[in-house]
């Protein structure tokens, strides 16, 4: 049986992908790590940026994403929730 990820799991995957790349990642790498379509990923990134969880910056004309301080806190809370759920197999 295949389970679909919910919104929280997708957000965690995006935030975690950014963290794993030392807080400097291009959209293509997020796309592969989060396993989303380009359209869906852009929607999530826009939402995360509006909520100040991620920041966009440019370096040598390349667009990069990084976690904000709030984004890192949110990622850690999601990680705790994920561990809690896995512990009790909910």
pLDDT digits (tens, 9 = 90+) for 10-64: 999 999 999 999 999 999 999 999 999 999 999 999 999 999 999 999 999 999 9
Q: Please give the residue range of the domain that contains residue 78.
A: 7-87
Is 58 a member of any domain? yes
Write the DSSP symbol of residue 2: P
Is 26 a member of any domain? yes
Short-list 36, 41, 47, 38, CA closest to 71: 47
Over 80: is that where the pLDDT of 2 sits? no
CATH of the domain at 41: 1.10.10.10
74 vs 53: CA distance, rounded Å: 8
């Amino acid at each position: 049986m295949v389970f679909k990820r919910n919104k929280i799991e997708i957000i965690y995957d995006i935030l975690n992908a950014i963290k794993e790349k030392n807080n400097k990642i291009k959209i293509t790498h997020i796309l592969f790590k989060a396993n989303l379509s380009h359209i869906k990923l852009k929607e999530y990134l826009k939402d995360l940026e509006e909520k100040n969880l991620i920041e966009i910056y440019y370096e040598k004309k390349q667009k990069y994403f990084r976690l904000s301080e709030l984004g890192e806190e949110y990622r850690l809370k999601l990680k705790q929730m994920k561990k809690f759920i896995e512990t009790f197999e909910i």
